[in-house]
Amino acid sequence: VLRRVVSVVTFLVTRGLALRGSNEVFGSEHNGNYLGCLELLSEYDPFLAQHIEKYGNRGRGNPSYLSSTICEEFVLLMAEEVRQVIINEIASAKYYSFSVDSTPDISHTDQLTFTVRYVHDAGMPTERFLKFEEIHSHTGLNLFNTLIDILKDFRLDLKDCRGQSYDNASNMSGKYSGVQARVLEENNKASYIPCMAHSLNLSGVSAAESCVNAVSFFGFVEKLYAFFSASTHRWNLLRTVLSAVNAVERSLLPKRLCETRWSSRSDALKSLSQHYKVYHDVLQQIADDPLQKCDTRSEALAMANIMDTLETVFMTVFWSALLQRIHESSQLLQSTTIEIGSAIAVLKSLLGFLEAQRSLFDDYKARAVAISKTPCFKEVRVRRAKRVFGDSSEPDVVMSSEEKFRIETFYAILDRIVTDLNNRIRAYSETDTRFLFLRHHELQNFDAVKDSLSRLTSFYSDDLDAEIFDEWLQWTEFEKALYPKDASRRPAHEMLSTLRKHHVESAFPNIFIALRIYLTLPVSNCTGERSFSHLKRIKNALRSTMGQERLSSLAILNIESELVREIDYSKLIANFAELKLRRKPV
């Protein structure tokens, strides 16, 4: 019976489904998913059918091992089993890093998510969710104390922590009283690495607010979505026209802008840029329709006129190209297995791409002119200041509308995002310098490698010693012997796998430790952000009163569902059965 109960619970919790209904009566339509699944199994399982018929609806005090009490006990026990597996893996890895973030749930309770990153025995970096913790204050001190309590609960030693990653909020990243500063006071080896995906988003937000034209343009894109989505008739009209030109409906319909999900702007601009003329023609069609309300026709005509301007077309083409690259880079940075060196390289390559855009104004203009009905930028009447005695007799410098747009909009956007992104990349330079030896094919001589290893040994003095340089020289030769063609460009996780595969960890102990520390360093806190999506599904409006322990247990079973399915619960079931056994020895 218990094996069947565990199977049903596993099926439901890994999918984030509700367990209980409004009653616990077999045969009722409102008995919930848990009893409903048992009823379904009983149709093909004579043993379970007989057990339900004999014990199913006998009421309280009569053990059936099918009640909600047993179900909830198994949820807690299974969650504890999963946590123990993760903690054992961290203990085996020794080094770990962590990330925390918070969000309010449906019951207006602040939930702090705690995730860890460590190197699995297979050699790949792994990120795991451990729990949600209720918090009542967002001060750096309170969050730090909560963090220490969580580490103690899981028996994780802060001295083994080698990295911490948060968003850029001052209570987390503050250099004096933020959580990262307080953690560094306890363990100066726990390098603070700001979330790279979040930093990239902030650079994009900064660029979108760099000038009036940029703000106005995104305001227009949002207004375009609001206009079509406010009416099912207008939405269906646009969808019909897009379908007629063989467009993929879901990817090319208008999208809402979102401050927290910067990729939404990329989706919105992709839709608009690929079918700009379709949007314009539909707006014009609505404006010319006498059956529409006057204010609707007026609004459609106003937006169609805005789309006629070369400035709007240029901004659509320009921002679409920028946001596509930003979006692809952000997707890479959100991977759970990406290494910090590769992540920094992604940001630097994006920076190079953005810097190269300054010389492409004429290309963007040519693409915009091909779409727009207006081949020139809108001329604005120049206001001339009244001259007074003593003013220079030199004529005023008057820029053309194109030159003004190039300087005050195009260059302003690029300069802002390049400057902001460059400043944020500097935050990772110190960590990148320590592990520069891993990219030894980029270095010109052994002195540069030796300097990098010296910095690394000095920082991790408790973990590494000076013999690492000799080990590294031998290791490079070892790799050349194994992989003569691509030894110089192998990523860190492949190096670590080679060490384990050939059982040579004892010959290269410092290299073995350095690679594990390197792969442990976090890149982003996106795993914590993803846990909020699970939180929204698990604790919804119909389940808003569940307790904190149950919420945390259901969350880890849902988020780490792959791990849940791999665990053998036979021992857990046997221990539970022995504990609940009512037969007493005579």
Neighbouring C-beta atoms of residue 363, cutoff 10 Å:
13
Whole-number average pLDDT of the chain: 88
Pick the closest to residue 489 from 521, 443, 448 (CA basis). 443
User: At a CB cut-off of 8 Å and minimum separation 6, what does 463 contact?
Assistant: 513, 517
User: Phi first, then psi: what are they for 98, rounded to 5°?
Assistant: -140, 165
Pick the closest to residue 555 from 533, 577, 573 (CA basis). 533
Task: List, for residues 390-431, the tens digit of each pLDDT value.
Answer: 666 666 656 788 898 999 999 999 999 999 999 999 989 888
Q: What is the pLDDT of residue 266?
A: 83
Task: Tell whether the torsion through CA atoms of 204, 205, 210 and 213 is positive or negative.
Answer: positive
- Quickly tell me which residue has 């093909």 as its tokens: 44
User: Could you say which DSSP state residue 508 is in?
Assistant: S
- Quickly tell me which residue has 């053990």 as its tokens: 63
Q: How far is CA 573 from CA 44, 234, 386, 453, 578, in A?
A: 23, 58, 91, 51, 9
Q: Are strands 110-119 and 125-135 parallel, antiparallel or unpaired?
A: antiparallel
User: At a CB cut-off of 8 Å and minimum separation 6, what does 586 contact?
Assistant: none
Task: List, for residues 524-545, the tens digit of each pLDDT value.
Answer: 999 999 999 999 999 998 888 8
- Let me know: does 114 contact 141? Beta carbons within 8 Å: no
The reported pTM is 0.87
Q: What is the pLDDT of residue 144?
A: 94
How far apart CA 92 and CA 28 sit, in angstroms, is 48
Task: List, for residues 245-302, the tens digit of each pLDDT value.
Answer: 764 545 567 778 876 666 778 888 888 888 889 899 999 999 999 999 999 999 999 9
Radius of gyration of the CA atoms of the chain, in A: 30
Q: What is the pLDDT of residue 304?
A: 93
- Quickly tell me which residue has 């930003």 as its tokens: 326
- Let me know: does 520 contact 95? Beta carbons within 8 Å: yes
Task: List, for residues 36-79, the tens digit of each pLDDT value.
Answer: 999 999 999 999 999 998 888 877 777 788 888 889 999 999 99
Q: What angle do helix axes 340-356 and 310-333 make, rounded to 10 degrees? A: 170
563: its two tokens: 């791990």
Q: What is the pLDDT of residue 463?
A: 92
- Quickly tell me which residue has 């984030």 as its tokens: 16
Instruction: Report the C-alpha dihedral over residues 563, 568, 571, 572, rounded to 10 degrees.
Output: 40
When mean pLDDT is compared across 312-316, 325-329, 360-364, 428-432, the lowest value belongs to 428-432
User: Phi first, then psi: what are they for 183, rounded to 5°?
Assistant: -65, -40
How far apart CA 166 and CA 139 sit, in angstroms, is 14
How far apart CA 450 and CA 471 sit, in angstroms, is 12
User: At a CB cut-off of 8 Å and minimum separation 6, what does 307 contact?
Assistant: 276, 279, 280, 283, 313
Pick the closest to residue 126 from 511, 506, 560, 551 (CA basis). 560
13: its two tokens: 């919790």
Q: What is the pLDDT of residue 442?
A: 55
How far apart CA 397 and CA 291 sit, in angstroms, is 51
Over residues 94-119, mean pLDDT: 94
Q: Alpha carbon 484 to chain centroid distance?
A: 37
Q: What is the pLDDT of residue 62?
A: 76
Between 364 and 245, name the one with better pLDDT: 364
- Let me know: does 115 contact 133? Beta carbons within 8 Å: no
How many residues appear in the chain? 586
Task: List, for residues 434-458, the tens digit of each pLDDT value.
Answer: 888 887 655 556 778 888 899 999 9
Task: List, for residues 216-232, the tens digit of each pLDDT value.
Answer: 999 999 999 999 999 99
How far apart CA 197 and CA 487 sit, in angstroms, is 30
User: What is the percent of the chain where pLDDT is above 90?
Assistant: 58
Q: Where are the alpha helices (DSSP H) in 162-231?
A: 170-173, 179-186, 196-208, 212-229
User: Could you say which DSSP state residue 387 is in?
Assistant: P
How far apart CA 280 and CA 238 sit, in angstroms, is 10
* Backbone φ/ψ region at 443: left (φ over 0), alpha (ψ -120 to 50), beta: beta
Q: What is the pLDDT of residue 244?
A: 76
